[in-house]
Chain A
Amino acid sequence: MIRLLLALLRELADENAYRRHLAAHGLEPSPEEWRRFSDERLRAKYSRAKCC
């Protein structure tokens, strides 16, 4: 249950998506890579309507 909750929090925090991104491209975590990933992710995230 706690593991599931933590996984949910990491998904909401985009941390899981970052890990997947690193794994998919065979990259190591770095400040530059996070900024690149985050910019792309946030651009997509905030081009969609937010619910009321």
Chain B
Amino acid sequence: MRVLGFLFWAAIACAAAICLGGIALNRGEHINSIWLVLAAACSYATAYRFYAKFISARVMVLNDQRATPAERLRNGHDFEPTNKWILFGHHFAAIAGPGPLVGPVLAAQFGYLPGTLWIIIGACLGGAVQDFVILFASMRRDGKSLGQMAREEIGKIGGLVALVTVLGIMIILLAVVGLVVVNALKGSPWGTFTIAATMPIALFMGLYLRYWRPGKVLECSAIGFALVMGSIFSGRSVAESAGLAPVFTLSAMALAVGIILYGFLASALPVWLLLAPRDYLSTFVKLGVVLMLGVGILFVRPELQLPAFTRFTDGTGPIFAGKIFPFCFITIACGAISGFHSLISSGTTPKMIARETHAWPVGYGSMLLESFVAIMAMIAACVLQPGVYFAVNSPAGIVGATPAAAAATISNWGFPVTAADMAALAHSVGETSLFSRTGGAPSLALGMAHIFASSGGGETVIGFWYHFAIMFEALFILTIIDAGTRVGRFMLQDLLGHIHPLLGRTSWMPGVWITSAAIVGGWGYFLVQGVRDPLGGINSLWPLFGISNQLLAAIALCVATTILLKMHGARFMWITCVPLIWLVSATFTAAWQKIFSPLPAIGFLAQADAAKNPVIAFNARLDAVVCGAFLVMVAIILADSIRVWISILSGSREAAVHEAPFVPSQLRPEEI
């Protein structure tokens, strides 16, 4: 049996190596997407079985005899021992946002290879390790948050910096995902109608759940889903109607203003009325679509049309400027390593773990699944013809404002495409134009529609699937916007409460409106900046978001390294130190280049100097200041951590571990 097991895992490891080698060494021919799927799946299986097991057994020494906070502090609400597979799905649904879908699509401008390797290797050695260690640390500390652990394990500065960094990241995150939605819906009456219809549907669901069928969330979500599907079907008629189409054909600025107003309302309105029903619906749709995409890719096994490397590895990319190092590693954050995950791993999940060993599948395993979602997004982007991919994702400021000019520019890059091809493609999905729809969502939707339509129905259903994919992306992005605005408002009220108690009271409506307006104003400013940017906004905002998210991961890895150091001395600190060093190198280099590069396409300050419009110049300088502020904050926490590490290693500081005391578990198997 032991020999069979050894042979099985040796075969899996060999398959991972062969597939990774196959996709890395293939040149000049189209490869089938199944190679990427197999490379990822076999690598994840090997990492999960050996590396994660080593961490759980030797480093964390997970012990099922030890009662978890879910058992000791059980209250039926936050603290509740939960079946590991249910918690796995719960945790995955919480960490899966638009990041792993959009990042790989944008990074595909380098070709499929750099992004794919980073997603697989980054997740196995970095992202999953971060999530796992932070989950473990929080579980051993009664479910404490990352900020609380940073304060306890490193010092007061760490906790404060973590809080301010999270608020800053949220402002940038909400702006950039808002921009993704704006670019997906501008000039698209079908898409705009579908998304607009989700507002009254959510209100209906809110009232249904509150007054008509209280507690029937699944039933209500099923009705909501049926209504949303109905709105996608009727969207085509709206787009073809001479009277209705102009009403839903909105400019980017009009959409941005609409989203800003929506964010304000959703933050100030009662949560049960709009936010919660949308969130339930978007969670189910998200899980369903991820599953459908996985099945679709396995069923269709499409060939990748993009090459392993494109000419844009030299840093002259039209989607975002900069070379593979460091920009590939900050563009793809959530699919490989994401700081935001550390907030979830130290939030609800550690309070629901029934047995300590469940942290292994939940913490490490969920991140591997998230990484697989990123691989599927990469495949969806790479099944498009390269000319189409660049036509959709390149801003008009670079390729030209007319279809003929854009097609000529892209064809001159070596990716043939014609205006007629693009017009036919746009017509087939029920759009008027697909040129310069930057942000990643439209090209992802095209790729997904191609895969779904190839599974059955063909060209006749491609328009439906395209708008289904747009609805899916926009629905959960808008949920992030409304929930994020609300969370930002709470954080701000918390801070302002120290100045005047009335401002901190969540029941005082003027305070709610003021703080909601302040948060919405913050991300709304960056959103409008992105809309007015002649290069499409994604070029500057997405790197800013990637840098801030990765810097939060650096904070999490600092906390994780400090904890491992306190537990075992220097013996196992490499586990989190190696990804930390890589992340700090990539992120600090990217931030430095984004601020100081003399090339206007990359550096914010050079962009400001070259700008003729004073507003654009001001915005570029503001971006440089924001980027610099993130850099300084993380440099502070890094320096503080290194100071603590040196003092522990030199023996001048006690390596006190702040774990909750051991209590034997009395949980019965039938309780889980």
A9/B218 in contact, CB under 8 A: yes
A49→B75 CA distance, assembly (Å):
22
A20→B177 CA distance, assembly (Å):
36
Residues facing B in A24-46 (CB within 8 A) are 24-25, 29-31, 34-35, 38-46
A4→B210 CA distance, assembly (Å):
27
What mask results when residues 413 to 456 of chain B are scored 1 for a CB within 8 Å of chain A, else 0? 00000000000000000000000000000000000000000000
Residues facing A in B314-350 (CB within 8 A) are 333-334, 338, 340-341, 343-344, 347-348
Q: Which residue of A8, A38, A39, A40 is within 8 Å of B85 (Cβ)?
A: A8
How distant is A19 from chain B, measured CB to nearest CB, in Å? 9
* Chain A residues closer than 8 Å to B484, beta-carbon distance: 49-50
**A21 and B76 contact, Cβ closer than 8 Å, known pairs A8-B89, A49-B340, A50-B484:** yes
A46/B82 in contact, CB under 8 A: no
Interface status of B303 (Cβ within 8 A of chain A): no
How distant is B347 from chain A, measured CB to nearest CB, in Å? 5
B334/A52 in contact, CB under 8 A: yes
* Chain A residues closer than 8 Å to B89, beta-carbon distance: 8, 11-12
A13/B218 in contact, CB under 8 A: yes
Residues facing A in B445-497 (CB within 8 A) are 479-480, 483-484, 486-487, 490
A47→B479 CA distance, assembly (Å):
14
User: Taking CB as reference atom, which chain A residue is nearest B479?
Assistant: A50
Which among B177, B487, B545 has the highest number of chain A CB atoms within 10 Å? Answer: B487
A52/B98 in contact, CB under 8 A: yes
Q: How many residues of B contact A (CB 8 A)?
A: 56
Interface status of A51 (Cβ within 8 A of chain B): yes
A21/B90 in contact, CB under 8 A: no
**A12 and B280 contact, Cβ closer than 8 Å, known pairs A48-B348, A50-B480, A52-B480:** yes
What mask results when residues 356 to 376 of chain B are scored 1 for a CB within 8 Å of chain A, else 0? 000000000000000000000
Q: Which residue of A8, A31, A51 is within 8 Å of B90 (Cβ)?
A: A8
* Chain A residues closer than 8 Å to B287, beta-carbon distance: 12
How distant is A27 from chain B, measured CB to nearest CB, in Å? 11
**A11 and B86 contact, Cβ closer than 8 Å, known pairs A34-B214, A42-B272, A49-B166:** yes
B487/A11 in contact, CB under 8 A: no
A45→B486 CA distance, assembly (Å):
11
How many A-B residue pairs have C-beta atoms within 8 angstroms? Tell me: 120
User: Taking CB as reference atom, which chain A residue is nearest B494?
Assistant: A47
B343/A49 in contact, CB under 8 A: yes
A21/B272 in contact, CB under 8 A: no
* Chain A residues closer than 8 Å to B490, beta-carbon distance: 47
A4/B86 in contact, CB under 8 A: yes
How distant is B458 from chain A, measured CB to nearest CB, in Å? 30
A4→B77 CA distance, assembly (Å):
20
A51/B338 in contact, CB under 8 A: yes
How distant is A45 from chain B, measured CB to nearest CB, in Å? 8
B280/A48 in contact, CB under 8 A: no
**A41 and B77 contact, Cβ closer than 8 Å, known pairs A10-B218, A29-B215, A31-B214:** yes
Interface status of B83 (Cβ within 8 A of chain A): yes
B280/A49 in contact, CB under 8 A: no
B283/A12 in contact, CB under 8 A: yes
A6→B90 CA distance, assembly (Å):
12
A51/B95 in contact, CB under 8 A: yes
A15→B77 CA distance, assembly (Å):
12
A3→B343 CA distance, assembly (Å):
30
Interface status of B192 (Cβ within 8 A of chain A): no
B77/A17 in contact, CB under 8 A: yes
User: Taking CB as reference atom, which chain B residue is nearest A31?
Assistant: B214
B344/A13 in contact, CB under 8 A: no
Please give 18 more A-B residue pairs, beta carbons under 8 A apart, in addition to A39-B272, A47-B490.
A8-B90, A11-B82, A12-B90, A12-B280, A12-B287, A17-B76, A18-B215, A24-B75, A31-B214, A38-B209, A38-B272, A43-B271, A46-B271, A46-B275, A49-B487, A50-B97, A51-B338, A52-B480
10 A-B residue pairs with Cβ-Cβ distance under 8 Å, sorted by A, are A4-B85, A8-B86, A9-B218, A17-B76, A38-B215, A42-B271, A47-B486, A48-B348, A50-B94, A52-B338
- Residue numbers of A with Cβ under 8 A of B are 4, 7-15, 17-18, 20-21, 23-25, 29-31, 34-35, 38-52
